[in-house]
Amino acid sequence: MIFQQIITGIIVGASYALIALGLNLIWSITDIPDFSQGGIYVIAAYVSYFAVTLARVPFFLALLAAMAVGSVISFILEKFLYKRWRGSGRIQLLCAIALFFLLSNGAILLWTPKAKIFPAYLQGGIPMFGFVLSFQRIVVLAVSTLLFIIVFLFIQKTKMGKAIRAASQDREVAQVVGINIDSVNSMVFIIGGALSSTASVLISPLYAVFPAMGDLPLLKALVGGFGSVAGVLIGGLGLGLIESLGSVYLSAAYQHGFAFFVLLIALMFFPKGLFGKV
């Protein structure tokens, strides 16, 4: 039982961490709490759902398609909306909330509020510790780990990654030394869109696809979304674990409320976030 809860927690936590990684990149560089990622999360789930059920595409192609759609939407939103109000954070915030409403209500209008069941793409699993760890869950862990490593290497090793780190530390100085802030912004939004889409497509087969599915993961990701890549990973996984174990051993009704206490306690001791900036 406890092992099952731990695995469930890690899997959900991995999805929080994925969204959080993108949100955190966007937030640290553009100062936008990008709520619209919650909408992209929903759209990506539907894209993959229709790709699998209507177009009968293999799951991993559907995942790639959803990632592409997610990054394109994210890129367009930054290019044509957020960019317009650079420097006035309140307006960007208002726009972000409006976009989130627009995308998730668009999903209700197009596809009704009814939950759709994502067909299983892999059957079976590995029996361990008295329960069966399904292959679909293993895929979530594997793909998230892979993406985390890719993003980490990208930020640490490439020239663009260095520019992103520089811009997250000090935007003005980064511009002064010749970093093209426009392309850095576009890049983090593309990465953010791809990561939120991946999180959503990986999780949908385990739960369901419905227009309100983006609300809670988005909020959770904001909690995990602090500091460095390692901080995001620990934050996301930690929150997933606490929720999963807490829902069994403390109270299922407050599962989505634990985040408040975790956040308050963590921030008491680390008021600047867990691990500093990207």
Partner 1 sequence: MRIKLKNLIAPAIVVLVLLLIPQLASEYVIYVVVLAMLYAILAGSYDLITGYTGPLTFCHGAFYGLGAYASALLTLKAGFSFWLAFPASGIIVFLFAAIVGYPALRLSGHYFAVTTFFFGHFIYLVLLNTVKLTNGPMGLRDIPAPTSFLGINFHALSASYYLILVFGLLAVVLLFLLVRSGVGKLLVSIRENEELSEAIGVNTAFYKVLAFSISGGVAGLTGSMFAHFFRLLHPTTFAWMTSEMVVIMALVGGMGTLFGPIIGAGIVTLILELMRFAPELRFIIWSVAIILVLIIEPKGLMGIVGRLRVGQGGKR
d(CA 270, CA 140): 30
- Minimum distance from residue 242 beta carbon to partner 1 (Å): 13
Which of 83, 106, 162, 180 forms a contact with partner 1 (CB under 8 A)? 106
Residues 46-75 vs partner 1: string with x where CB under 8 A? ------------------------------
Closest CA to 120 of 136, 132, 142, 131: 136
Binding-site residue total for partner 1 (CB under 8 A)?
40
Nearer to partner 1, 106 or 161 (CB): 106
Binding track over 208-237 against partner 1, x by CB under 8 A: -------x---x--xx--x-----------
Q: Does 264 bind partner 1 (CB under 8 A)?
A: yes
Q: For the purposes of burial, counting CB atoms within 10 Å of the CB of 275, is it exposed (0-12), middle (13-18) or buried (19 or more)?
A: middle
Is 111 a residue that touches partner 1 (CB under 8 A)?
no
177 lines the binding site for partner 1 (CB under 8 A): no
58, 84, 126, 150: residue in contact with partner 1 (rule CB under 8 A): 84
Question: For residue 52, which amino acid is it?
Answer: V
Distance CA 240, CA 247 (A): 11
Contacting residue, 50, 85, 135, 154, with partner 1 by CB under 8 A: 85
CB 278 within 8 A of CB 26: no
Does 272 interact with partner 1 (rule: CB under 8 A)?
yes
Residue 78's Cβ-count burial label (10 Å; 0-12, 13-18, 19+) is buried
Contact 26, 74 (CB under 8 A): no
DSSP 29-68: HH----THHHHHHHHHHHHHHHHHHTS---HHHHHHHHHH
Alpha-helix residue ranges (DSSP H) falling in 118-225: 135-157, 159-169, 171-176, 181-203, 215-224
Residue 33 interacts with partner 1 (CB under 8 A): yes or no: yes
User: Minimum distance from CB of 157 to partner 1 (Å)?
Assistant: 27
Indicate whether 98 belongs to the interface with partner 1 (CB under 8 A): yes
In angstroms, what is the minimal distance from the CB of 99 to partner 1?
7
- The answer to whether residue 263 forms part of the interface with partner 1 (CB under 8 A) is yes
Give the interface with partner 1 as residue ranges (CB under 8 A): 27, 33, 81, 84-85, 88, 90-91, 93-95, 97-99, 101-102, 105-106, 108-109, 215, 219, 222-223, 226, 251, 253-254, 256-257, 259-261, 263-264, 267-268, 271-273
